[in-house]
Structure 1
Amino acid sequence: MKKSVVALVLIAALVLAGAAGVVALVIAGDGSGPSAGDGATQQRHTPRPPGEGKSLQKIYDQKVGWRACGKNQCGTLVVPIDYEAPEDGTIQIALERHRATGKKIGSLVVNPGGPGAPGTETVRDAESYFAAELLKSFDIVGFDPRGTGASAPVDCLDDADLDAQIAADPDPDTPQEVAEGERYSEEFWQGCQQRSGKVAAHVSTVEAARDMDVLRQALGEDKLDYLGFSYGTRLGATYAELYPEKVGRMVLDGAIDPSLSSRDGALSQAAGFETALRSYLAACVKAGDCFLGNNVEEGLARIKGLLEDIDAKPLETADPEGRKLTSGLAFYGLITPLYNEGNWPILDEALRKGLAGDGSVLLYLADFYGSREDGRYTDNSLEAISVINCLDDPWAVTADEVPENFADFEKASPTFGRLFAWGLTACADIPFTATDSPDLEIDGSGAPPILVIGTTRDPATPYEEAVALANQLETGLLLTRDGDGHTGYNKGNKCIDDVVHRYLVDGVVPQDGKRC
């Protein structure tokens, strides 16, 4: 099956890390604000200007040399590796542009999330991501954030080692599995340092936001018009904090709360995926003759039982490489379709086959999640996402401390709680320290109105986080989509789409608190 056939729309990649290196998960940027050893938020500060007064004029004076690439145009942007020391060298940021199909009013920079998802791919599939109203009025400009895609991509593991880490048990239940997870984590971070040390130390969200301002200037725009999804909302909010006077029309869809500690962000996401799974099961029960049970609780018990059975004995699959469906792969296969309500029928098929002893569809979904096709990974999103998140916030607990977190996490999510608790170990071995003020207190003071969209049963960025971000931003306006799946724009809700189009295209500022 091809991605286009099953129409899986993820918008945001998932953050992977924890006891098994990149295996236990926290999703979509983990909502992580900087945190102290107990998971409490540290004091944050206003950043100093990049380069300590060193000139970036040459960087800002550049123009993009666009060239044809398929139906679009591609180019590169040169930026410093380290804005604090711009004389230390540069990297290139990959760009792709979909030209406006009608009367152009400007450039709209977009980010699909992650962190780690290549933005150029979003523009390559622009007709799937954006409605005609935006395609007519804007050049849609995507970029691979530093360290991702084709923008000096960080590399930590070869494909075989990445396979092993993804397949490992995300909820280790024996001393041997815990030890294996600790070894995987050490290998992951050692690999990052050996393969990509110079770049991997400079892929923070703040540095990516600084790149966006260089991009704005290179596009010839006085203000940045921006549409960011999932982690892209954190990136956009960071830009608004750093450059409020340069913000144009900004939409942050599937918003995260950047003030949350790492621990609280993980708890929030655990609860979000529990809510999404329960909503999927409720729909199954409501439709009648649900194959998973007569009520939601029966369905949860059956799914949890399937995961436990797979943990004990991986399922056979039709994979040409002979891979089996392990508990780690089954988990990713389960959560991937929760990102889009339109994919629930695929989850039905995956679970039916899994319960019958065939892990093929769940394995396909796990591979889709990890950008794995024909035996290879097509991008580095599984590696970049961990490096970016941990560079932004290196707080972690040790493996010995994880069990004391189980009660809180299982309360937030009886199904997924322990897996998210293990994710708290994600950054324990990171060898890098960010140099460019990752611990911002974000309020966007001085920026024009910023539209924040939250979906009530969003699995990856729970609705409560959108409410929080809208409240934290001095000019934040909340738009609510009552529905399932991740993010709200272009998901079949005309009300949401109309508000976004009127704001981005016509400049009509919506009413705060509107619900659709």
Structure 2
Amino acid sequence: MKKTLTTTLLLATALTACSTAAKPEPAPVAKKQETGAVAWAPCTDLTGPDGKPLKDASLECGKLPVPLDYAKPDGEKLDLALIRIKATGDRLGSLVFNFGGPGGSGVDTLGLASKAFASLGTRYDLVSFDPRGVDRSSGVKCGDLNKFASVSPQSADFERMMKEFAKACAAESGKILPHVGTANAAEDLDRIRIAVGDEKLNYFGLSYGTQLGAVYATKHPKNVGRFVLDAALDPSVSFKERAVTQAKGFKQAFDAFAKDCVAQTCDLGATPAAVQKDLQIFLKALDEKPVKVGDRELTGGLAQTGVIASLYSKMSWPVLEQAVAAAKKGNGEALLSMADLYTGRRPDGTYNTMMTSLQAINCVDSPERPTDADIADVKKATLAVNPMMENGGLSVICRYWPVHGTNDDAKRVDATGSAPIVVVGGKGDPATPYEWAPRLAASLKTGVMLTYEGEGHGAYLSGSSCVTRAIDTYLLNGTLPQKNATCPAT
């Protein structure tokens, strides 16, 4: 799924665990000794949002060698980067996280947002990792991202730039590109399970992490422990369906933001319709005349990215209003900073591999290589539902991708024989719209649905005590949510 939950995680506060009553699932079995495959040591390369070294004695990092090509298990290896926070109480085992993307760094995200999962850390070692092709795990590199990140999807140069981008990826990361897909990452998850000494994998996947977890459960149903898949993605969707459904989701989120903004005296317009119209005009004007921000420029593409980033969480709506209002007056610093957080641009001007890894994983996960007509069709369809998101989605970049996509290994989901898997969907989720959650639960065959009625990408981090209670109770005590359980909006 497009975009990790890092933005939401940074805004989230620590959530409190509670309990409910229902039939509990058996406790996960934790071995007393680890296999020794990971040599844990203090983390040395973590940084905070300000770019300064992040020092936290509770954080441990390590590496796990896995096959580059699982068809050649004894061949060349790559090192997966891992992070761990040891359980503070009576340990049940490890709980492995993937925070989304695809392409998000689990090492960085858990390091920055560990307090959001503190209740789970009382019984579990909290573990995350940079998936293959991401940052410290042979991260995909594609040249100078500064020139690619600023291009608007509506720009006449967009397709040409995406072609250059794909060529740069092949030149710098050709060896890793065929091996970064979700099917291989699922095998890596099983290697992690073995390395931390657990008989069953206990897993918390958010956004794209739900696809990774679903593929793992399909490949290794008997190894599924306690699984939560929050902000569910339906892996079976085509590029067009994904683009159109997300365009609808972000339109719904923007409409909710505009309505809320106007209700509180909005600096962006007197009515929700005026807010949208004025913003569209402003974004188009930025393409013609960007706003200077130091030695950089806030282009229409970067401004649009900043707006989209802020729609992931209701908590960032006030920041969005202030940032757009300031940019319209000539100060684009806040909106540019929001775009930088989304694209993984660091304070020193370098980038993590979020955007490059995302494209690499998505394109290898699908055999779709769209034609001119296909791309035009997607653009027309997205424009019809959301005037601010007219684009070809993944179809543009994957058209030029230097390696073939896989067959259905990353799309076929059927976890028959696994333990129950809790699938969470939010009615106001813009990035992984609600309709995908029940579809994923049904495809799994073992899915148990939990619905959140509120806004935001990711229900656990929404601030809903109902959602937190249901998920914590399941992961800590094994008590599943009631059938078709629903939590109200906060």
TM-score under structure 1 length normalisation:
0.83
CA positional deviation for 1:507: 0.3
1:206 partnered with 2:180: no
What is the CA–CA distance in structure 2 between the aligned matches of 1:10 and 1:411, rounded to whole Å?
A: 32
Runs of 5+ consecutive residues of structure 2 not aligned to the other structure: 1-5, 12-33, 44-55
CA positional deviation for 1:382: 1.2
- Selected match of 1:218 from 195, 211, 215: 195
SS in 1 for 2:62: strand
1:458 partnered with 2:429: yes
- 1:157-172 alignment, distance < 5 Å: 157=143, 161-172=144-155
1:315 partnered with 2:286: no
Relative to structure 1, the CA distance from residue 116 to residue 270 in structure 2 (aligned partners, 3 Å threshold; closer, same or farther) is: same
Q: Is the 8 A contact 1:393 1:438 kept in 2?
A: no
Q: Aligned residue for 1:300?
A: 276
1:97 partnered with 2:84: yes
CA positional deviation for 1:352: 0.6
Q: Which stretch shows the higher mean deviation, 118-127 or 101-110?
A: 118-127
1:148 partnered with 2:137: no
Q: Aligned residue for 2:48?
A: none
* AA matched with 1:276: A
What is the CA–CA distance in structure 1 between the aligned matches of 2:275 and 2:115, rounded to whole Å?
A: 33
Q: Is the 8 A contact 2:423 2:450 kept in 1?
A: yes
What is the CA–CA distance in structure 2 between the aligned matches of 1:435 and 1:124, rounded to whole Å?
A: 32
What is the CA–CA distance in structure 2 between the aligned matches of 1:356 and 1:403, rounded to whole Å?
A: 35
Q: Which stretch shows the higher mean deviation, 221-230 or 354-363?
A: 354-363
* AA matched with 2:96: V
What is the CA–CA distance in structure 2 between the aligned matches of 1:278 and 1:234, rounded to whole Å?
A: 28
Q: Aligned residue for 1:274?
A: 251
What is the CA–CA distance in structure 2 between the aligned matches of 1:469 and 1:359, rounded to whole Å?
A: 40
After superposition, the CA RMSD in angstroms is 2.0
CA positional deviation for 1:144: 0.6
CA positional deviation for 1:361: 1.5
What is the CA–CA distance in structure 2 between the aligned matches of 1:240 and 1:373, rounded to whole Å?
A: 35
SS in 2 for 1:91: strand
CA positional deviation for 1:310: 1.1
* AA matched with 1:133: S
Q: Aligned residue for 2:165?
A: 188
Q: Aligned residue for 1:112?
A: 99
SS in 2 for 1:427: helix
Relative to structure 1, the CA distance from residue 187 to residue 382 in structure 2 (aligned partners, 3 Å threshold; closer, same or farther) is: same
1:286 partnered with 2:273: no
What is the CA–CA distance in structure 2 between the aligned matches of 1:102 and 1:129, rounded to whole Å?
A: 17
After superposition, the C-alpha distances for 1:219-268 in whole angstroms (9 at most, x for unaligned) are 11110000011000000000000000000000001111112112111111
- Selected match of 1:502 from 473, 484, 489: 473
What is the CA–CA distance in structure 1 between the aligned matches of 2:340 and 2:399, rounded to whole Å?
A: 26
Q: Is the 8 A contact 1:316 1:324 kept in 2?
A: yes
What is the CA–CA distance in structure 1 between the aligned matches of 2:113 and 2:148, rounded to whole Å?
A: 32
Q: Aligned residue for 2:50?
A: none
What is the CA–CA distance in structure 2 between the aligned matches of 1:327 and 1:496, rounded to whole Å?
A: 37
SS in 2 for 1:515: strand
After superposition, the C-alpha distances for 1:164-198 in whole angstroms (9 at most, x for unaligned) are 111112112xxxx2xx3333223222222221111
What is the CA–CA distance in structure 2 between the aligned matches of 1:311 and 1:163, rounded to whole Å?
A: 16
What is the CA–CA distance in structure 1 between the aligned matches of 2:134 and 2:238, rounded to whole Å?
A: 25
Relative to structure 1, the CA distance from residue 422 to residue 508 in structure 2 (aligned partners, 3 Å threshold; closer, same or farther) is: closer
Q: Is the 8 A contact 2:455 2:462 kept in 1?
A: no
After superposition, the C-alpha distances for 1:392-441 in whole angstroms (9 at most, x for unaligned) are 0141334465334444222322332x12x354212011111356863542
1:238 partnered with 2:225: no
Q: Aligned residue for 2:73?
A: 86
* AA matched with 2:339: A
Q: Aligned residue for 1:467?
A: 438
Q: Aligned residue for 1:68?
A: 42
What is the CA–CA distance in structure 2 between the aligned matches of 1:474 and 1:266, rounded to whole Å?
A: 26
What is the CA–CA distance in structure 2 between the aligned matches of 1:501 and 1:479, rounded to whole Å?
A: 13
Relative to structure 1, the CA distance from residue 213 to residue 434 in structure 2 (aligned partners, 3 Å threshold; closer, same or farther) is: farther
SS in 2 for 1:135: helix
What is the CA–CA distance in structure 2 between the aligned matches of 1:139 and 1:61, rounded to whole Å?
A: 15
What is the CA–CA distance in structure 2 between the aligned matches of 1:434 and 1:405, rounded to whole Å?
A: 19
Q: Percent identity?
A: 38
After superposition, the C-alpha distances for 1:16-75 in whole angstroms (9 at most, x for unaligned) are xxxxxxxxxxxxxxxxxxxxxxxxxxxxxxxxxxxxxxxxxxxx9762221223422111
Relative to structure 1, the CA distance from residue 8 to residue 436 in structure 2 (aligned partners, 3 Å threshold; closer, same or farther) is: closer
SS in 2 for 1:316: strand
Q: Aligned residue for 2:17?
A: none
Q: Aligned residue for 1:51?
A: none
Q: Is the 8 A contact 2:103 2:358 kept in 1?
A: yes
Q: Aligned residue for 1:43?
A: none
CA positional deviation for 1:442: 0.5
CA positional deviation for 1:8: 4.4
CA positional deviation for 1:95: 0.6
* AA matched with 2:276: L
Q: Is the 8 A contact 1:102 1:136 kept in 2?
A: yes
CA positional deviation for 1:471: 2.0
Runs of 5+ consecutive residues of structure 1 not aligned to the other structure: 1-6, 13-59
* AA matched with 1:474: K
What is the CA–CA distance in structure 2 between the aligned matches of 1:445 and 1:397, rounded to whole Å?
A: 33
What is the CA–CA distance in structure 1 between the aligned matches of 2:10 and 2:421, rounded to whole Å?
A: 20
Relative to structure 1, the CA distance from residue 87 to residue 194 in structure 2 (aligned partners, 3 Å threshold; closer, same or farther) is: farther
SS in 1 for 2:297: coil
1:255 partnered with 2:254: no
- Selected match of 1:444 from 397, 415, 418: 415
